[in-house]
Amino acid sequence: MKLLRVGKKGHEAPAIIDAKGDIRDVSDLVDDWDGLALNDVVLNQIRQLDLTALPRVDPQERIGPCVANVGKFICIGLNYADHAAETGADVPAEPVIFFKATSAICGPDDRLEIPRGSKKTDWEVELGVVIGKETKYVSEADALAHVAGYCVVHDVSERAFQLEGTGQWVKGKSADTFGPIGPWLVTREEIEDPQALSLWLDVNGEVMQRGSTATMVFSVAHLVSYLSQYMSLQPGDIISTGTPPGVGLSMKPPRFLQAGDIVTLGIDGIGAQRQVCIDA
C-alpha cells in the first residue's frame, strides 16, 4: 500500500493510493498516518477494504509529509562506502548516528528554504525507514518485522553550519524544510528487498546522485537492530539511512544550492520529490 497525507500545511488528511493510482480519503478510518495507525493490525484492516468505495481526492491537492507526529528523526552518516570515500572519511566501524529536528519535516514538493546566512546548502537523497511498532533490543533477524514501510527522504544539509563551527551535525541538518519526506509511505510488504533499491537526485535536470542501497555499509535490518540497543524505537519514528555519492560538498569545485534551483530526487518503487529552492 501507498499511504500519504494531503491538504494544506498543518491540516493534512490521511489518504491512500488505490490500484488505479487514484488518491482516496481514509480520514473516516484513521485519524492520521501516525504511530497509532502504522501498526500491523490497522494496516491489515485497511488492506481488506475496497479502496474504490472511499471518497476520491482531487489529484491537485498538496501532498504533505507522509508520516504525522514523528517522535524521532534519526539519521545515519557515511553509510555508503563510496560516499565516505568522496568526503575523505574512513568507512565507519559502526553506524554514525545523529538527529534531525522534526520541525525540519515538510512535504515532498514544498519549497526548500535556503537558510539566512547559508552559503553551503547541499543535497542528499536517502531511503527512509518508518517504524511500525515499539522496538527494543530487537535482533537483526527480526528487525524488518518492526518496519511499517519506506519513504524517500531528502536530508538537506548546510555544510558550514554542520562542519565548520563547534558542536554536532544537528544544527546543519535541522533548518525548516530540510526534511522533505514522501510522497508516500510504501508499506513493507511491497518492498521485497530494501537492499536492492536505486536512488537518484538531479539539480536543474543535471545528474548529481546515482546509487543503490546494495552498497550500504550497514543494512536496514542492521540499523534497526543496532539503534534498538541504545534507545527504544517508537511507531512513527523515521530512520534516514544515509546517502550515495554525488553530494555538492565533494564536487570539484564544491557546488551548493541557490534560490531558483530545482531539485528532483527519488527511489525506484518508493516515489519521487521535487523542490524549488527559495531564500528563507
- Report if pTM > 0.75: yes
Domain containing residue 91? 67-279
Percentage of the chain surpassing pLDDT 90? 94
- pLDDT number for residue 245: 94
Distance CA 279, CA 224 (A): 36
87 pLDDT band, cuts 50/70/90, is confident
Residue 206 lies in a domain: yes
Distance CA 179, CA 98 (A): 14
| pLDDT tops 80 at residue 211 | yes
Residue 229 lies in a domain: yes
- pLDDT number for residue 4: 98
Percentage of the chain surpassing pLDDT 70? 100
Is it true that the peptide bond before 55 is cis, omega within 30 degrees of 0? no
- pLDDT number for residue 89: 78
Residue 101 lies in a domain: yes
Q: What is the mean pLDDT of the chain?
A: 96
Residue 96 lies in a domain: yes
167 pLDDT band, cuts 50/70/90, is confident
Q: Spell out the SS3 assignment of the chain.
A: CEEEEECCCCCCEEEEECCCCCEEECCCCCCCCCCCCCCHHHHHHHHCCCHHHCCECCCCCCECCCCCCCCCEEEEECCEHHHHHHHCCCCCCCCEEEECCHHHEECCCCCEEECCCCCCEECCEEEEEEECCCECCCCCCCHHHHEEEEEEEECCEEHHHHHHCCCCHHHHCCCCCCEEECCCEEEHHHCCCCCCCEEEEEECCEEEEEEEHHHECCCHHHHHHHHHCCCCECCCCEEECCCCCCCHHHCCCCCCCCCCCEEEEEECCCEEEEEEEEEC
Residue 48 lies in a domain: no
Residue 265 lies in a domain: yes
| pLDDT tops 90 at residue 83 | no
- pLDDT number for residue 122: 98
- pLDDT number for residue 90: 81
| pLDDT tops 90 at residue 216 | yes
198 pLDDT band, cuts 50/70/90, is very high
Number of domains in the chain: 1
Residue 215 lies in a domain: yes
Question: Domain of 202: which CATH number?
Answer: 3.90.850.10
Distance CA 178, CA 102 (A): 10
Residue 9 lies in a domain: no
